[in-house]
Each structure stands twice: as structure tokens, then as C-alpha cells.
Amino acid sequence: MQETVHNTGTVYLVGAGPGDPDLLTLRAARLIMNARLIVHDGLVDPAILSMARKGARLVSVAKRRSRHSMPQPEINALLVAEALAGKDVVRLKGGDPFVFGRGGEEAEACRAAGVPVEVVPGISAALGAAAAAQIPLTHRDCASIVSFVAGQCKGLTDQDWAGLAGKGRTLVIYMGVATSEAIAEKLIADGLSPDMPVAVIENATRPDMRVLRAELAGLPALVNGARVKSPALIVIGEVAAEPETELRAFARENLTMEFGQ
């Protein structure tokens, strides 16, 4: 009896970036366009999925808050099973696969099963949003430390955020919309100034992007008032302040001298 021998396929953990297809790496674009099987999560923009070739199989394992999603062990098992059956799998994730993307868990599962893995980086939401909103995450004048944190409630009790925000620092919070009130309260209780600038960037790099600004104490009111929805990022720090206009800079320099303030 003849046995069918499969070569094991490769699992490509590919970062799809924050939304705009122009922000894909060339390697990601090539893999997406050539794939026969793409397993993607809910954050991957439809414009990116539409780059797949005709006849490609697209499997959604949507992982967005409050929507039904496939449990992580099942996703791992699916990737491994397809690869062991000889198929290359493009596992497409929003942003970068290794920034709050569970890419580490999927890579581990593949390695444990003897499935080759390749990781293709993507532009993480913090970088895409900062660029699109023209907020420099570091600035020689006011920020030389940047932290990326996950804003779910669990993180809030587990971690000491005290040192992450404040003078000279930029704090970028992923998945923090639903917990913005607790975040603001916690940071203020930890001693951060209630008037520290905050920017909220919703749907960064997509046609419906919104950039909203407030001071830390006003963050929950901003999020509720503007009905901010996921996906959105919160940036806290001096760099998040409204950029200074030429007029304001002129007024600051000249009027300060005149009034001696």
C-alpha cells in the first residue's frame, strides 16, 4: 500500500499593520498575494484581505472584544493541523504579531509540533497611530522613554504603572477604551498630573480615523462623549499635546518678552 507523504507546511505569522494596506511590508504583501490559506483575526482591514488571490481560503478567527471568537488553543490547533497536512499557512494579524498579538503562543505551538514558523513584522498600532496623528513618541525636549501597555483590567491590578507615565515619558495604552476611567483614576492616584495631555486615536491610518485630545482628568468624558470605539489607542504624555501653531509660538515668544512673564 502506498502512503501519501506530506511535506510539512510553514506557518507565516504575518503583521498586517494598523489598517492602511500601503503600510504592509513587501514581504507581507507578497505572502498575502500568493497564499492559498489565510487565517486572519478581526482587526485585519478588508482592503488587505481583498489582496488575496482568487480561490484563496480565508478563515476568520475574529478576536475583537465582545464578538465571538475562536479560543486560542483552537487557533493553535488549526495552524498546526493545516501545516502538518502539508499546507503553508499565512496567519495574518493586526499590527505586529509579537505586540499584544498572541504571536508568541502560536509560534510556541508550532515549534512544539515540529512545524516551521516564520515571523514577518508589521507596523504596530502605536507606531502607525503616532505617525498618522503626527505625535512623536519620543522627542528630545520632552520624552525619552516610551512604554506600550495593555489596558484591560487585569493589567491594571497586576502592574505598577506609576513609573511608566510622567515627565519625560510617553505611555501608549492598547485595548484601553473600555477601561479608560479606571486608567485615568489609577494614574492620577499614582501621582500623575490631572492636566497631563492625552490623545485618543481611533481607527488609526484608516479613512475613518479620529484623533481626539483632552487632559488626563477628562479622558473618560472624552471617550464617552465622543463614543470612542475599538480599535483605539490612548497616548499619555507631553508629546500628546496639541501641536503648537505658528501663531501660538509667535505669541508665546513675543508676548512673553513684552510682559516680562
Residue of 31, 82, 91, 124 interacting with ligand SAH (CB under 6 A)? 124
Which of the ranges 90-98, 163-171, 178-186, 243-251 carries the binding residues for ligand SAH, by CB under 6 A? Answer: 90-98
Q: Is 63 a catalytic residue?
A: yes
Q: Is 99 in the site for ligand SAH (CB under 6 A)?
A: yes
Pairing state between β 11-15 and 89-93? parallel
Q: Is 96 a catalytic residue?
A: no
Q: Is 94 in the site for ligand SAH (CB under 6 A)?
A: yes
Pairing state between β 232-236 and 197-202? antiparallel
* 231: preceding bond cis by omega (within 30 degrees): yes
What minimum distance in Å lies between the beta carbon of 97 and ligand SAH?
7
Residue 191 CB partners (closer than 8 Å, separation 6+) = 162, 166
- For ligand SAH, give the closer residue by CB, 27 or 206: 206
Which of the ranges 29-37, 88-96, 107-115, 157-165 carries the binding residues for ligand SAH, by CB under 6 A? Answer: 88-96
Q: Is 21 in the site for ligand SAH (CB under 6 A)?
A: no
Cα-to-chain-centroid distance, residue 66 = 18
Annotate each residue in 23-62 with x if it binds ligand SAH (CB under 6 A) or - if it does not, as one string: --------------------x-------------------
Candidates 27, 33, 34; CA nearest to 13 is 27
Q: Is 19 in the site for ligand SAH (CB under 6 A)?
A: yes
Site for ligand SAH in 130-189 (CB under 6 A): 174-175
Q: Rounded to the nearest 10 degrees, how much is the dihedral formed by the CA atoms of 186, 239, 250, 252?
A: 30
Residue 223 CB partners (closer than 8 Å, separation 6+) = 177, 180, 181, 200
C-alpha cell at 20: 492602511
Residues that bind ligand SAH (CB under 6 A): 18-19, 43, 93-96, 99-101, 124-125, 129, 174-175, 201, 203-206, 230-233
